[in-house]
Amino acid sequence: MQWDYLAIVALSSLTSASVLIIATLGLAVIFGLMGVINLAHGEFIMFGAYGALIATRAGMPLVVAIVFAALVTGLFGAVVERLVIRYLYGRLLDTLLATWGLSLALYQTAVLIFGSTTPGVGMPIVSVAIGRYSISAYFLFLIAAALVMLAATYLILTRTSYGIMARASIQDRDTAAAVGIETGRINTITFAFGTGLAGLAGGLLVPAFPATPGMGIAFVAKAFLAVVVAGPVTLTGAAVAAGTLGWAASATASYLSTVMGDIIFFVATILLLRAFPNGISDRWRLKL
Amino acid sequence: MPIAGTGVLIGLVGLLLDEFLLYVATSWIIFGILAFSLDLVWGKCGFLSFGQTAFFGLGGYLASVAAINLAPLTGNNLVWIVPVGALTGACVATLVGYFIFFGRISALQGTILTYTFTLILWTGSIGLTVAVGDAIVGGDNGMTGIPALTLGLGKDAQPLGPLGMYMTVLVIAVALYVFVSALLRRPFGLVIAGIRMDELKTELLGYDVRGYRLVIFIIGGAIAGIAGALFASWATYINPSVFSIVEALLVPIYVLVGGRGTLVGGFVGSVAVGGLSFWLGGGVIGGQTTLALGVILILLVLFLPRGLIGTILHAVQRIRRRTRIPGVGPVTIMVPAGSSCETTPPEIVSAAPALETVGLSKSFGGVLAVQDVSIAVPPRGIRSLIGPNGAGKSTFIKVCAGMLRPKSGSILLNGTDITAEEPFARVRAGLAIKMQVAQVYPDFSVWHNLWLAGFARFRNEAAADAIVETVLPLIGLSEKRYLDGAQLSHGERQWLDMGMVLCLAPKVILLDEPTAGMTPDETRRTAGLIQRLAREAAVVVVEHDMEFVRMLDAEVTVLHQGSVFAEGRIEALRRDERVLDIYLGRRQSVKSL
């Protein structure tokens, strides 16, 4: 095997891992800070993807369209929190089912509006040559984007006053309320933040993956597993889990087949859960 | 029996339906059986499984492969696909369940594990194309030519028509319902309900929760497998979509729509959702119905969280309860001097310690919470464990009970090393624990709370009845025996919890702050009760309240920063400057340690 082949496999696996991290962050934020499993996460990604698509069609440059997608999705998330989620705090399974209902409804609405397939956004055509192979520069950009998103989210949640209030609310809601934090408002912001990250993911991914109403399902199952494998240190844990599992699956896929890659992903998940019944970050000392 | 009547009624309705509707309605009952299997596992035993469709699909696939290949050998009779489906579901559920429950995987992680298992089957089955004898498992294209269910025998045996299939499936559904309801009668059903309400407490009564959970999971797997076999022979076709994410999530929806924990809820939900989709046009999934289903799901969770049947049952129960509350007298703890509550025959008291720890240590992420603690407790009498906040008292108690694993050291119960034993095994060996927060089953009556403990100890219904009658007056709750745990006051719950410990007739009792939050009067009565217990068992009491410790008049061990700091009578310790220092937070002695 040639060095350039190895390099290209390593890079494309890294891209897959980054894609999964991008798709997982929003889910991890909402689960980690609110204890809500958002099964509609995939549809929020889809929402962002269509947002970016419409924005580019209207003539916005891609970068602006991506930011626009994140904002619109976050706003929509805030509305959903006000209307549905806020009545279900502390009822893990009920939120799971309600967000699944939301996922079904959003999916079907998208089918009604856009049909089941849509042309994608053209990916910026710049590629980087590695030996005899080449890789799209956009994939390398996605690797960087994953790192920036992770770092920014971590800093926002640990260094800003909003982040500290949000983490206080999840640790002890009553105490947080007693010291004057408006936990209701914080929850709305957190949900909007998490869904905004999903929208950002949609916007970032739409040049590489075609926007379809069902695109979310492909990401959400794996993102969901990564978050659960992560355990208590949700954000960093989920990033590590998504990165490792996504990388292993993609590397397997390049040597064997996509199906084997997926099976490796799921089997690794089961083995990790067996080895760490409370998640891989059970004994970590990180805060988030 | 109401269920037989309902079954006959649904059968009669079948006679009125046209063939197409009969055919479709049969599928609702089949999915009802599938949802029923989940309600048993989730509604009754508290474990949400996304694996029911995996057992369903595997049962369907395996029964179909067998049916295609073996139909001629069995004279075209295909009744045996039902047990094949059941066996497949049960075997796979045994593997998955053993992995989850005996691996002590936490609830959410376990649920996700079943989900992952289903995803593996989905991904795997799409790519898989193999021929097993005459059967062709065709990957994404599915498996066709599955013979329909045939009851007759011989060359002329005809497969069942729509009406015959409807009736057969209905009979199987009723039979499964009757079987499961009979199984859930007391005492097994009571233990299962206990696990659902409070898994830890049930384990601390000495029940092997893992085993009970596994049994229920296997039965659920078998029922789902039966549904799968019926489905494949109903549709004469099966494909990987039975393992899909949407299918896996649809089953809990059926249960929720009908009402979780009602057993009939699964059937009602399946018929309601199936009927609604049918009415709206289109199949069970797909078409415009998805939008309607999604919205209905959100509305249900928000406005009718108990489901259709659950809401009705809840209303009926509330009316009944309102009319049944007996007169409530004043609560007194009667501790008649010299009277007997002997649960174990008096033995010759040996001098050997009942509970002994040797060099016990426990750390949390580098912090030593318990450090090299060696304590020996004699078989009778009280030992008080005191110390300031964070001294490691509760951790010590939890390590003794097996809820936490020690880092090093060993625990001996009557001379036997129990360091590696599971918590329930320690309880069976005679060690009982009452945690700081009273653990009582909120939806059981006082009587049933105690009974479950008594049954754990004696494994005999009559003996359990008897011990409950003995213990009720001791904890002063005779008058309130019909009230639910949730209806008791704080102090009463503490006593009920202690009563449950009493029903276990233990040799060693660990009490973690039994008087937390009690009034002085309640505290005084509790002291009386503990002194009564100490005549027959070794009692270790963790306390904060020095006044209470003085009341108990017992040997005292002082813990400080995880280690034994001093031991002796309370009067002596009260004069010990060093003990006063750590309690008052004075520095000089602490520093010299």
Mutant choice from B49, B106, B116 vs A, greatest count of A C-beta within 10 A: B116
Could you tell me the residue range of the domain that residue A77 belongs to? 3-213
Mutant choice from B112, B257, B299, B306 vs A, greatest count of A C-beta within 10 A: B112
Nearest chain A residue (CA) to B286: A108
Query: Does residue A123 carry a pLDDT above 70?
Result: no
In A21-38, which positions are buried (b, 16+ CB within 10 angstroms) versus exposed (e)? Answer: bbbbbbbbbbbbbbebbb
Nearest chain A residue (CA) to B49: A93
Measure in Å the smallest separation between the Cα of A104 and chain B Cα atoms.
5
CB atoms within 10 A of CB B334: 13
Q: Which residues of chain B lie closer than 8 angstroms to A280, CB-CB? A: none
Alpha-carbon gap, residue A55 to A65, rounded angstroms: 5
Nearest chain A residue (CA) to B47: A93
The answer to whether the CB atoms of A104 and B48 lie below 8 A apart is no
pTM, 2 dp = 0.85
The answer to whether the CB atoms of B294 and A266 lie below 8 A apart is no
* Domain assignment of residue A138, yes or no: yes
The closest CB to that of A263, out of B106, B124, B295, belongs to B124
Query: Does residue A206 carry a pLDDT above 50?
Result: yes
Measure in Å the smallest separation between the Cα of A101 and chain B Cα atoms.
4
The closest CB to that of A102, out of B104, B252, B298, belongs to B298
Taking any CB pair shorter than 8 Å as contact, residues of chain A touching chain B are 39, 84, 87-88, 91-94, 97-98, 100-109, 112, 217, 221, 224-225, 228, 257, 259, 262-263, 266-267, 269-270, 273-274, 277-279, 283, 285
Structure tokens at B347: 């033995």
The pLDDT score that the predictor gives to residue B338 is: 40
Alpha-carbon gap, residue B432 to A260, rounded angstroms: 50
Three state DSSP letters for B518-533? CCHHHHHHHHHHHHHH
Name the CA dihedral angle for B358, B359, B360, B361, rounded to a multiple of 10 degrees.
-170
Nearest chain B residue (CA) to A278: B106
- Indicate the pairing of strand B355-364 with strand B135-138: unpaired
Q: Is B412 left (phi over 0), alpha (psi -120 to 50) or beta?
A: beta
The pLDDT score that the predictor gives to residue A117 is: 66
Q: Which residues of chain A lie closer than 8 angstroms to B116, CB-CB? A: 225, 266, 269-270, 273
Nearest alpha-carbon partner for A88 in A175, A187, A223: A187
* Domain assignment of residue A155, yes or no: yes
* Domain assignment of residue A34, yes or no: yes
Query: Does residue A94 carry a pLDDT above 90?
Result: no
- What would you report as the CA-atom Rg of chain B, rounded to the nearest whole angstrom? 29
The pLDDT score that the predictor gives to residue B230 is: 96
The answer to whether the CB atoms of B294 and A101 lie below 8 A apart is yes
The pLDDT score that the predictor gives to residue B307 is: 85
Q: CB distance from B104 to chain A under 8 Å?
A: yes
Nearest alpha-carbon partner for A97 in B108, B116, B277, B305: B305
CA angle B269, B274, B278 (to 5 degrees): 150
The pLDDT score that the predictor gives to residue A1 is: 61
The answer to whether the CB atoms of B103 and A274 lie below 8 A apart is yes
Three state DSSP letters for B225-255? HHHHHHHHHHHCEECHHHHCHHHHHHHHHHH
Angle between helices B19-38 and B245-258 (to 10 degrees): 90
The answer to whether the CB atoms of A93 and B48 lie below 8 A apart is yes
Q: Which residues of chain B lie closer than 8 angstroms to A88, CB-CB? A: 301-302
Query: Does residue A121 carry a pLDDT above 70?
Result: no
Query: Does residue A282 carry a pLDDT above 60?
Result: yes
Measure in Å the smallest separation between the Cα of B119 and chain A Cα atoms.
7
CB B205 within 8 A of CB B456: yes
Segments in chain B below pLDDT 70: 1, 281-289, 321-351, 584-593
Q: Which position has the token pair 């299918």?
A: B247
The answer to whether the CB atoms of B305 and A257 lie below 8 A apart is no
The closest CB to that of A88, out of B105, B127, B301, belongs to B301
Three state DSSP letters for chain A? CCHHHHHHHHHHHHHHHHHHHHHHHHHHHHHHHHCCCCCCHHHHHHHHHHHHHHHHHCCCCHHHHHHHHHHHHHHHHHHHHHHCHHHHCCCHHHHHHHHHHHHHHHHHHHHHHHCCCCCCCCCCCCEEEECCEEEEHHHHHHHHHHHHHHHHHHHHHHHCHHHHHHHHHHHCHHHHHHCCCCHHHHHHHHHHHHHHHHHHHHHHHCCCCCCCCCHHHHHHHHHHHHHHHHCCCHHHHHHHHHHHHHHHHHHHHHHCCHHHHHHHHHHHHHHHHHHCCCCCCCCCCCCC
Stretch A13-39: mean pLDDT = 90
Q: How many cross-chain Cβ pairs, A to B, lie less than 8 Å apart?
A: 103
B359 three-class SS: strand
ipTM exceeding 0.85? no
pLDDT in tens, B300-329: 888 888 888 888 888 888 887 665 544 444
The pLDDT score that the predictor gives to residue A118 is: 65
Nearest alpha-carbon partner for B264 in B167, B188, B176, B191: B176
Measure in Å the smallest separation between the Cα of B437 and chain A Cα atoms.
18
Measure in Å the smallest separation between the Cα of A263 and chain B Cα atoms.
6
The pLDDT score that the predictor gives to residue A144 is: 93
Nearest chain A residue (CA) to B117: A266
- In angstroms, what CA-CA distances link A244 with A22, A222, B208? 13, 12, 36
CB B231 within 8 A of CB B148: no
Q: How far is CA B320 from the centre of its chain?
A: 26
Structure tokens at A261: 């890659």
Question: How many separate domains does chain A show?
Answer: 1
The pLDDT score that the predictor gives to residue B346 is: 45
Of the ranges A121-125, A167-171, A231-235, B209-213, which is most confident?
A: B209-213
Nearest alpha-carbon partner for B570 in B589, B539, B549, B548: B549
In A108-122, which positions are buried (b, 16+ CB within 10 angstroms) versus exposed (e)? Answer: bbbbeebeeebeebe
Q: Which residues of chain A lie closer than 8 angstroms to B296, CB-CB? A: 101
The answer to whether the CB atoms of A104 and B293 lie below 8 A apart is yes
Structure tokens at B8: 């006959």
CB A269 within 8 A of CB A245: yes
Q: Which position has the token pair 């597993």?
A: A225
Domain with CATH 3.40.50.300 in chain B: 355-592
* Domain assignment of residue A278, yes or no: no
The answer to whether the CB atoms of B297 and A283 lie below 8 A apart is no
Alpha-carbon gap, residue A19 to A247, rounded angstroms: 10
CB B41 within 8 A of CB B216: yes
Is the Cα torsion angle A49, A52, A57, A63 positive or negative in sign?
negative
The pLDDT score that the predictor gives to residue B218 is: 97
The pLDDT score that the predictor gives to residue B440 is: 92
Nearest chain A residue (CA) to B294: A101
Query: Does residue A177 carry a pLDDT above 50?
Result: yes
Alpha-carbon gap, residue B166 to B163, rounded angstroms: 5
Side by side, the strands of the sheet bearing B538-543 are: B431-434, B508-512, B538-543, B381-386, B555-560, B563-569
Q: Is B145 left (phi over 0), alpha (psi -120 to 50) or beta?
A: left
Residue B70, class by beta-carbon neighbours within 10 Å (0-12 exposed, 13-18 middle, 19+ buried)?
middle
Cβ neighbours for A127, distance < 8 A, ≥ 6 positions apart: A134, A135, A136, A137
The pLDDT score that the predictor gives to residue A266 is: 84
The answer to whether the CB atoms of B290 and A107 lie below 8 A apart is yes
The answer to whether the CB atoms of B116 and A270 lie below 8 A apart is yes
Tell me yes or no: is domain B355-592 CATH 3.80.10.10.
no
Distance linking the first and last C-alpha atoms of chain A:
40
Mutant choice from B256, B277, B301 vs A, greatest count of A C-beta within 10 A: B301
